[in-house]
A and B are shown apart, each in its own frame.
Chain A
Amino acid sequence: AQRVTQPEKLLSVFKGAPVELKCNYSYSGSPELFWYVQYSRQRLQLLLRHISRESIKGFTADLNKGETSFHLKKPFAQEEDSAMYYCALSFNQGGKLIFGQGTELSVKP
C-alpha cells in the first residue's frame, strides 16, 4: 500500500540555522511527490512539487528514488517559516493525495 512517513512530529531550530524535514514514501511505481505547508490559521497550500524542481521561499526538495525519500531543505531558516509541513504522494492521474503525518517546524529567534 502507498504510504508517506514523516518521522519528526516537531522540529525546532534557531533562526539562520539549516533545516531538513524528512519524508519517506513507499510506492512501487513512479510517484509524484509534493510538499504542502499550513501556516497558523490558514489553509493548506502547495509549497513544492518534485517535477518542477524549483526553489520556493528558499526551500528545495530532491526526489531520491533509491532511498524513497523527498526531504525538504532550507539552508537558513526564518521565523516566518514556522508552520506545519506535510509531505504528500500522488500515484495516479486522478490527483488523489496521500499525506504524511506532518512536521511542525518552529523557528526560534
Chain B
Amino acid sequence: GAVVSQHPSWVICKSGTSVKIECRSLDFQATTMFWYRQFPKQSLMLMATSNEGSKATYEQGVEKDKFLINHASLTLSTLTVTSAHPEDSSFYICSARKSSYEQYFGPGTRLTVT
C-alpha cells in the first residue's frame, strides 16, 4: 500500500509562536504533495501545492509568508504556521501524489492556538 504520515497528530501552541507540521510518504517517493485545511464537518480547502526542490504554489487567498512550505526531499514536506493566531486553529491535512491519479492522504494534524 501507500502510507502517508503526519507529525504531530495534534498540537497546542500559544498565539504568536510558530509551529511546524511534517508530512511524510513512508513507502513511496512523492515529487508533489498538497496541503489542505479542513474545518469541522466541512470540506477540504486546498492551501498549496508543494513541489520537491522548488517553491510551493499557493492558492488564492493563502498567505505564503504565514504558511511556509518546504519540500526538501522526495518523502518529506513541512508546513510551518508562523506567528499563529487563534483563527489559524484548524485541521491540516496533507496528501502525497504517487502517480498521475493516485493521491494518498495523511491522517491530519489538529492545531489549536490559544
Contact = CB atoms under 8 A, between A and B. Distances in A.
A97 B49 contact: no
Judged by DSSP, the binding face of B is strand
A96 B42 CA distance: 18
A86 interface: yes
Interface of A: 32, 42-46, 49, 51, 84, 86, 90, 93-102, 104
Nearest to A41: B107
A97 B103 contact: yes
Interface residues of B, number: 20
B37 to A, nearest CB: 11
Interface stretch (B61-69, B72-80, B93-101): B93-101
Contacts of B45: 99
A95 to B, nearest CB: 5
A86 B43 contact: yes
Closest 7 CB pairs of A and B: A44-B105, A95-B97, A43-B107, A99-B43, A99-B44, A101-B43, A43-B105
